Structure 1
């Protein structure tokens, strides 16, 4: 239980994190699809209730709102950004500042491709970050099913269960599929463990079914599965297993786990802590398993920072062979974490930890069948891994395996340094964007026929912040900023 000091401590921490994400959202410019949603295209799609577009109704409505209201954008991106840091702490029932800073650092250390297509892109944020927010909110409510005490749900939770389940389904497709099965698992697990059904769980599950039906009855998915969609498709030219394996070694292993360098290092460290502490008095057979798992975890955690990033070395000159090697090495790392929990975690946390780890894989599974996939699709499994880390460390503290108070200063330092670096980067972006748009406004006022558009600094942190000449985004960029379509835009190299 939190005492008064702990509540004050976690409240101040949460306010500081909220302030950071509010400032970050203020300094992040609209880019790419944001210009499209912010003009008549967004309202045109709304007028047709997103027919033939997609079933992400809540995500689309959110995007229409926050591209038209700066205040709404700052508040939503600020609050939800902070929530993704703080909710894992609440789910794990901890107010330890060291874990708060660790969660903050892990969120900030997402791969650059994931960051720029979610936290720094309004269109991505409106769908993907909101989807994981609602998943974490649900887990916050049902977390007690993993405890020994019988769960209790207050009247408010029961009243919001149906709409919460329904709304959660209208952001991104793979989250929609996951939510149905996660809700069903919680019902079955609760009944097996407590021999009882709970109204909240049943209503939430009903809401997820209703939301899933609403999403996937959008005519866009008929076009996707028939191959008539120009962007998204379900591969049908090859066998199912062949399709899955191709996605697996080309994209999935990197986006799901290998690109998460800092997350992987922490995953390996906390899992090794579990193996070392819980496996102290293991039998000879388990000691062999433990040492094998420690070896796999260590090798993989160091593979990217040393072999790839420092030595720039590939074990195979053939690209296909090297991709296959890295893909199977990634599978081995993930399986090593699963087996560590399965063999060595105490029964009181085993199911909960396995639930988070398997959820990361399950929510990613539909992406094997849909192309294209991008880094933003994996912000949801990334948060499940963060949740696993935080929950395991809470247990480690309760078991006196580690004194996290000794790690508070270094964890706070690395989180603060990272956040300051982001602050400086986005301050420079904001300053340059303001100057760029002031220049554009002046040129438009003077009826200039040609506008030379400067690129923003640190564009690698943004999702297509400069429109490509001749593209749809150049047209929507002009419309959003009231630049005559006949005006020629030249991108300064």
Structure 2
């Protein structure tokens, strides 16, 4: 039975190999290099007292930058863990998985559609990966078991242990996800009480675990500095912009960019799938027309107005801000309305609407603390992947005529990533070897012009820009500090 179960998921082996190869080929960049120096040791010994409460994420980074095998194994475990929890969560909603190998291939294909802006700060940057991916995995585990408790009123003892561990340990990676975990368990407990007029002990235990983890995180002294405006990096307000005005501006500019337009490719797939299901429904023609218009709004605006007119660079102009926000909110609300009206079972509808409604809960804490960037919305992208995965499996696109197409896509995308990062790894090795050779041949060398790495849009600041970062870069790669390193201008906007 165990052997049969393993064979059904044999597709995980090449996926494990893929992520292992990617972890080996991905170079340490940006503050990965700093974590690998004495700074990381100092932070570890002080238990990150002057940094933040991301205790597990920071510890993973300290160890990973010193022990390469640890870095590779942890990278694989969490990357594959995201796949497995999505697969299992969707199985819970749609029933028994009869095509595990094909479905996992379909899922990895969807995940590889990740925008380069997010990839560069997650999979292409270990400091980002070790905080955001484990945090997202923990949140998805909690979400899955909250839904199970709502549906059947209890968990098996081993499921409860997993949920408690996720609720406790998952709090020490990312602040916004820490608050999300508490919020989602609280909402599940309230909903269960309203539905059944009684409390559920397992949800209370999960809530206590999450609360304890959150208290441990936020008792870190650095958060007092952040909310007091004493932090040089994270802030809740500034001298020229108060908290309320910053929240409004983030809501109107950064949220549409990161929630909708950044992930437009996966959203087009979701809109197309919903449109296809709508086409087969018996809704009145005018209702279909309105929903089609809403589903087409963001894609058409993105490719025919926003990109040609460079609206992304003009978000300080009030008319542009309002157009950008209006289209984004219209599209998001249409997604919810389309799920509600399409011919799906009530169980699937409830699940998809719940996933869409988790997004504002997940990102709400980001209104308060700045700066935020693409990496903060990795979990939003994963939610979109789950929605697309549910719709594709509901449509039963697992017939033989589709399976070959998915296999070709999965192999093509995976190969493209491997080839791209192989080129990056070779270029990284060569540029370090060249500067060492130049320093050895000319002891009086004062300035060295170093090349940028190719495909730098898929990594987090692979070429240091500031004097401090260049000093760390030289320390890590044992380049004499007296040599001034310069780089060509970046092609990234």
TM-score, normalised by the number of residues in structure 2: 0.88
Paired position in structure 1 for 2:411: 416
Structure 1 residue 208: deviation in Å?
A: 0.7
The within-5 A match list for 1:254-269 is 254-269=257-272
* Cα-to-partner distance string for 1:27-63 (whole Å, 9 max, x where unaligned): 0000010011111111111222111311111111111
Does the aligned pair in 2 maintain the 1:116–1:462 contact within 8 Å?
Answer: yes
Report the more deviating stretch, 197-206 or 121-130: 197-206
Name the CA distance, whole Å, in 1 between partners of 2:408 and 2:38.
46
TM-score, normalised by the number of residues in structure 1: 0.88
Alpha carbons of 1:151 and 1:408: their partners in 2 closer, same or farther (altered >3 Å)? farther
Alpha carbons of 1:98 and 1:332: their partners in 2 closer, same or farther (altered >3 Å)? farther
* Cα-to-partner distance string for 1:445-464 (whole Å, 9 max, x where unaligned): 66564444322111121111
Report the more deviating stretch, 434-443 or 365-374: 434-443
Does 2:430 align with 1:435? yes
Paired position in structure 1 for 2:480: 484
Does the aligned pair in 2 maintain the 1:98–1:405 contact within 8 Å?
Answer: no
Does the aligned pair in 2 maintain the 1:98–1:404 contact within 8 Å?
Answer: no
Does the aligned pair in 2 maintain the 1:183–1:205 contact within 8 Å?
Answer: yes
The within-5 A match list for 1:393-404 is 393-397=392-396
Does the aligned pair in 1 maintain the 2:149–2:155 contact within 8 Å?
Answer: no
- 2:409 aligns to what SS in structure 1? helix
Which of 339, 342, 348 is the equivalent residue of 1:341? 339
Paired position in structure 2 for 1:475: 471
Structure 1 residue 469: deviation in Å?
A: 4.9
Does the aligned pair in 1 maintain the 2:247–2:368 contact within 8 Å?
Answer: yes
Alpha carbons of 1:326 and 1:234: their partners in 2 closer, same or farther (altered >3 Å)? same
- 2:10 aligns to what SS in structure 1? helix
Structure 1 residue 235: deviation in Å?
A: 2.3
Structure 1 residue 492: deviation in Å?
A: 5.6
Alpha carbons of 1:132 and 1:405: their partners in 2 closer, same or farther (altered >3 Å)? farther
* Cα-to-partner distance string for 1:318-364 (whole Å, 9 max, x where unaligned): 94322321221011111001122234443222322122111122111
The within-5 A match list for 1:56-205 is 56-93=54-91, 94=97, 95-145=99-149, 147=151, 150-193=152-195, 197-205=199-207
Name the CA distance, whole Å, in 2 between partners of 1:468 and 1:122.
19
CA RMSD of aligned residues (A): 2.9
Number of equivalenced pairs? 478
- 2:11 aligns to what SS in structure 1? helix
Name the CA distance, whole Å, in 2 between partners of 1:324 and 1:102.
37
Structure 1 residue 314: deviation in Å?
A: 6.4
Name the CA distance, whole Å, in 2 between partners of 1:167 and 1:409.
40
Does 2:227 align with 1:225? yes
Does the aligned pair in 2 maintain the 1:158–1:203 contact within 8 Å?
Answer: no
Which of 16, 23, 26 is the equivalent residue of 1:25? 23
Name the CA distance, whole Å, in 2 between partners of 1:14 and 1:363.
29
Paired position in structure 2 for 1:328: 326
Paired position in structure 1 for 2:94: none
Name the CA distance, whole Å, in 2 between partners of 1:438 and 1:308.
43
- 2:105 aligns to what SS in structure 1? helix
* Cα-to-partner distance string for 1:146-193 (whole Å, 9 max, x where unaligned): 65xx25422223334433211111111110110001112233334445
Name the CA distance, whole Å, in 2 between partners of 1:433 and 1:124.
20
Does the aligned pair in 2 maintain the 1:58–1:170 contact within 8 Å?
Answer: yes
Report the more deviating stretch, 475-484 or 222-231: 475-484
Alpha carbons of 1:478 and 1:159: their partners in 2 closer, same or farther (altered >3 Å)? same
The within-5 A match list for 1:280-299 is 280=282, 282=283, 284=284, 287-299=285-297
Alpha carbons of 1:317 and 1:91: their partners in 2 closer, same or farther (altered >3 Å)? closer
- 1:485 aligns to what SS in structure 2? coil
Structure 1 residue 306: deviation in Å?
A: 4.6
